[in-house]
Amino acid sequence: MTHALGIDIGGTGIKGAVVDTATGELVSERKKIATPKSGKPGAIVNVVVDLIDQLGGIPASMPVGVCFPAIVRNGVTMSAANISDDWIGLEAEKLFETALGRDIHFVNDADAAGVAEVRYGAAKGVPGLVLLTTLGTGIGSALIYDGTLVPNSELGHLQIGGRDAEKGASFAAKERRRLSWSAWAKRLQRYYSHVELLFSPDLILVGGGVSKSHEKFLPLLKLNAPIIPAELRNNAGILGAAALAVKE
């Protein structure tokens, strides 16, 4: 049995738990601490240290995975979503490793969620190309081909109508413009049709909080690939980060 610690850093909360990576089950209590309002590196690192202390009994030999709302390239955060711009260009993986006194696996949050859905969730056992999208403040994405992650896909930034797709098709755009489910679905149709034209996925997953209401909009979409709700929701980042830490 292989246990790993998964930590999911978000714009509003930082969550963590120990995961049995063979089964995808949480084997500890899930702890959550509010993300510091400043979103600055030092403040967030301190919360992660505190969260691990609260979990207690985490041996130095246990793999640790951390997922984060940014493009992550070779341990460097190349962007920042709902956190401080101080993260841009920062050697974040080394920052966490120094503070925690151990090696970690550091990954984009949508990528972690996609890996979790393939390993343990709605896409388990599905061959070929799986695309996860998260509909929220923006549109996050993950591409996994036969179980292998293609990192940092950032498909919310595809240009549709001369602007980032997420500006018109995210759940935040629906709320901001007070769109009906059917009006929003027309925007999603345009987005997913474009993604399907470019990537021809075998399965499309839809995550984010709005996936709880999937029956109000997913049946309105007409695509070649099946499009279904993600299953793991709030635990997806924790599970994916832990799974990737063991894989590494």
**For the domain with range 125-230, which CATH number is right: 3.40.190.10, 3.30.420.40, 3.20.130.10, 3.30.200.20?**
3.30.420.40
pLDDT at residue 1, rounded to an integer: 60
CATH of domain 3-111+235-247: 3.30.420.40
Alpha helix (H) residue ranges in the chain: 41-55, 92-100, 109-120, 165-169, 171-177, 181-199, 236-247
Q: Report if pTM > 0.85.
A: yes
| Tens digits of pLDDT across the chain (248 residues) | 699 999 999 988 999 999 999 999 999 999 999 999 999 999 999 999 999 999 988 999 999 999 999 999 999 999 987 789 999 999 999 999 999 999 999 999 999 999 999 999 999 999 999 999 999 989 999 999 999 999 999 999 999 999 999 999 999 999 999 999 999 999 999 999 999 999 999 999 999 989 999 999 999 999 999 999 999 999 999 999 999 999 75
Domain ranges of the chain: 3-111+235-247, 125-230
Say which DSSP state 57 is in.
-
Q: How deeply is 236 buried, as exposed, middle or buried, from its count of CB atoms within 10 A (0-12, 13-18, 19+)?
A: buried
Q: Are strands 72-73 and 76-77 parallel, antiparallel or unpaired?
A: antiparallel
For residue 75, which of 95, 51, 99 has the smallest C-alpha distance?
A: 95
